[in-house]
Amino acid sequence: MLRLVRIVVALSGGVDSAVAAARLQRDGADVVAVHYRTGVVASDPASASAARSCCGAEDARDARAVAARLGVPFYVLDVADAFQRDVVGDFVAAYATGRTPNPCIVCNQTVKFGRLAERARGMGAEAVATGHYARTALRADGGVRLCRATDRRKDQSYVLYGLTQAQLALARFPLGDARKDEVRDEARALGLVVADKPDSQELCFVPTGDHRDVLAERAPGLLREGPVVDAQGHELGRHRGAAAYTVGQRRGLGIASTEPLHVTAVDPARDRVEVGPRAACLRRTVETAPLHWVGVAPEEGRRRSPWRVTVRIRHAHEPEPATLCVDERGGGVVRFDAPVFAPAPGQALVAYDGDDVLAGAPIERSAP
């Protein structure tokens, strides 16, 4: 008798995770759905921004409706403490030191796959699944490769680079070879209520769309007024809190200028924001924290340095050709073939070897 494989699916309340669950069920898996309760409450549940979140009350209702339609067990996992501490707390701490965080990466590591794996073991499941657009495959040494999705426009391998080999071994990404239009068509054919639901666009814990609201609530002392200066230190205007700005930012500076100005440096300790022309944000060399290796074992990554790679410095960034070297700390030193715009400290740099995620780490500094 064929044994069913039990797989726990993180059902967010969106169309992608719903179709991921449906595909697994279609392929014969014993699917169990889990929805996360993160403790996030929209200030205005009827607002457009709240509707584009991914873990509000409406999402919980939609996730439950999808599970009912598919006829699979549905559980709610309370991760509020971990989410607020590890994801939101890290977010605020990063801005406090002039870095630009990517909370989705932290959430995937500590909450979605960390907590989901714990729940899966307790349910006797052999794997965990999400609606991410990414793929996995076996490495030559028996490890697990993380690969870009077939649909390059939806590829989410960038925000998954921090998963450990143990997490990747458990992970299933049923949408890795799917296109978004196919996913919506499948959802309509199955009669799922989320078939035409808009994609999440805002950070789930920033329902207003303005991250300064989170900083004002969590660490109001960070939002102190201070000078906006040029490269020579001449004051051009005043800002509403240096911690709220990020390198490369152009909008919201409130400065009259004959040419567009971008943030070139942020110094929350001195309440100072430096700006300059776009050219001042171009960088050819980027250094990172110690690398998290995915495509090869860490010792092989160091031994085979330098690597010819393509590199992303933000999720929506098209990979750029570069050379990756490993320094004595295990950090990455990346030299781009052509200058890239505004690699912000704190954001992730992810290097690819073909379609495979080779390694990644937070950006520490950059140079022309």
* pLDDT single digits (tens) 12-62: 999 999 999 999 999 999 999 999 999 876 544 444 444 444 566 789 999
User: Which DSSP symbol is given to 252?
Assistant: T
Q: Is residue 303 helix, strand or coil?
A: helix
Residue 2: its pLDDT value, please? 53
Q: What is the band of 167 on the pLDDT scale with cuts at 50, 70, 90? A: very high
d(CA 75, CA 73): 7
Mean pLDDT computed over 201-205 = 81
Q: CA torsion 82→84→86→90, rounded to 10°?
A: 180
Q: What is the band of 203 on the pLDDT scale with cuts at 50, 70, 90? A: confident
Tokens read off for 365: 């500094």
Percent of the chain with pLDDT over 90: 82
| Active-site residue, selected from the candidate residues 55, 104, 147, 204 | 204
Report the predicted TM-score, pTM, of the whole model to 2 decimal places. Answer: 0.93
- Cα dist. 171→41, 49, 103, 120, 134 in Å? 29, 30, 20, 11, 10
Is the CATH number of domain 224-276 1.25.40.420?
Answer: no
Which residues are bridge partners to 340 per DSSP? 283
Q: Span 6-189: which CATH code?
A: 3.40.50.620
Residue 165: its pLDDT value, please? 97
Residue 287: its pLDDT value, please? 98
Lowest mean pLDDT across 41-50, 144-153, 214-223, 280-289: 41-50
At 300-358, the pLDDT tens digits run 999 999 999 999 999 988 999 999 999 999 999 999 999 999 999 999 999 999 999 99
How many residues in the chain? 368
- At position 281, the amino acid (one-letter code) is C
d(CA 361, CA 54): 25
Q: 204 catalytic, yes or no?
A: yes
Higher pLDDT, 259 or 70: 70
- At position 14, the amino acid (one-letter code) is G
Which of 31, 65, 35 is closest to 197 using CA atoms?
65
d(CA 251, CA 270): 22
Stretch(es) of the chain classified as CATH 3.40.50.620: 6-189
DSSP annotation string for 313-360: SSTTPPPEEEEEEE-TTSEEEEEEEEEEE---TTSEEEEEETTEEEEE
Residue 35: its pLDDT value, please? 96
Stretch(es) of the chain classified as CATH 2.40.30.10: 281-367
Cis peptide before 306 (omega within 30 of 0): yes
Residue 46: its pLDDT value, please? 44
Which residues, other chains included, contact 281 with Cβ-Cβ below 8 Å and sequence gap of 6+?
A: 247, 248, 262, 263, 264, 341, 342
Residue 50: its pLDDT value, please? 45
Residue 54: its pLDDT value, please? 54
Q: What is the mean pLDDT of the chain?
A: 92
Q: What is the band of 3 on the pLDDT scale with cuts at 50, 70, 90? A: low
Q: Other CB atoms closer than 10 Å to residue 142's CB: what's the count?
A: 9
| Active-site residue, selected from the candidate residues 104, 107, 147, 281 | 107
Residue 255: its pLDDT value, please? 87
Q: What is the band of 258 on the pLDDT scale with cuts at 50, 70, 90? A: confident
- At position 202, the amino acid (one-letter code) is E
CATH topology of domain 281-367: Elongation Factor Tu (Ef-tu); domain 3 (2.40.30)
